[in-house]
Amino acid sequence: MKQLRFFFIIMAWVCIHTAWGQVSTSSDPLYGKRIGVIGDSYVRNHREPVEYTWHYKFAKKHGMQYFNYGRNGNCVAMPRARFGEAMYKRYKEMTDSLDYVVVIAGHNDASLLDSIGIDNYKEKLGILCEGLIEKYPSAKLFFFTCWTRKNFSGSTAEKVVDATLEVCGRYSIPVFDAARKGNIFAQSGAFRKIYFQNEGVNDTAHLNAKGHDRFLPCAEAFLLQY
């Protein structure tokens, strides 16, 4: 009899704490919201699972429905045979109903800027901004730039980051300048060995799970401002 009573006490404790957890989760203002993330391998996560990414972890932490539209090698402004249509057109493939839209892009545009051209990048980015606003007039829109890299000052990466800040600013779309404020020291081989995939060998783009965990608080604080 005592054993049965003890069993019921334990079960009641479990049920109560489970209910508390559900109340805590459902009281989150983001709970049940739909978030779509579009971009390049920063979104697709290169060769590691999407579940390792900071944006996936952000969505799950807050009880959000998560939609990933990442493609390795993808650009904002230029289609690539191996990596698909450019984002300024590809955004149309995203689901029609989203509460949050996050664009993480620019790394590949910077690498190919000699072919793309900075003015063309700005033009295509403007098309993407306008398209997202029209498609999601009630959603919260955000952009994240690429990381910094060695010899960032005066580089094509700096030009793309600054162009992103400029163009998105015209549309009042918040941009997180991950190159300058991300706490991701991609220019450092010692840093990449800890926080990047394949220990950062010839790679200044792809965080591993530990790297995504490092960046998550920065990204979360930024997103929760709005």
In angstroms, the CA 225 to CA 171 distance is 18
Residue 8 lies in a domain: no
Confidence (pTM): 0.87
Residue 41 lies in a domain: yes
User: What's residue 25's pLDDT?
Assistant: 64
User: What's residue 163's pLDDT?
Assistant: 99
Residue 10 lies in a domain: no
User: What's residue 182's pLDDT?
Assistant: 96
Which of 144, 221, 139, 132 has the alpha carbon at shortest distance from 171?
Answer: 132
Half-sphere exposure of 141 (CA within 13 A, CB side): 17
Which of 176, 145, 136, 170 has the alpha carbon at shortest distance from 36?
Answer: 136
Residue 23 lies in a domain: no
Instruction: Give the domain extent around 131.
Output: 30-223
User: What's residue 19's pLDDT?
Assistant: 42
Residue 214 lies in a domain: yes
User: What's residue 205's pLDDT?
Assistant: 98
pLDDT digits (tens, 9 = 90+) for 87-140: 999 999 999 999 999 999 999 999 999 999 999 999 999 999 999 999 999 999
Residue 121 lies in a domain: yes
In angstroms, the CA 189 to CA 47 distance is 20
User: What's residue 2's pLDDT?
Assistant: 52
Residue 11 lies in a domain: no
Which of 118, 125, 98, 120 has the alpha carbon at shortest distance from 33?
Answer: 98
Residue 49 lies in a domain: yes
User: What's residue 26's pLDDT?
Assistant: 75
Residues 6+ apart with CB under 8 A from 51: 57
Half-sphere exposure of 114 (CA within 13 A, CB side): 2
* CB 24, CB 17: distance < 8 Å: no
In angstroms, the CA 226 to CA 217 distance is 15
Round the average pLDDT of the chain to a whole number and report it: 92
Q: Flag residues of the chain having pLDDT under 50.
A: 6-10, 12-24
Q: Tell me, what CATH number does 151's domain have?
A: 3.40.50.1110
What is the count of structural domains for the chain? 1
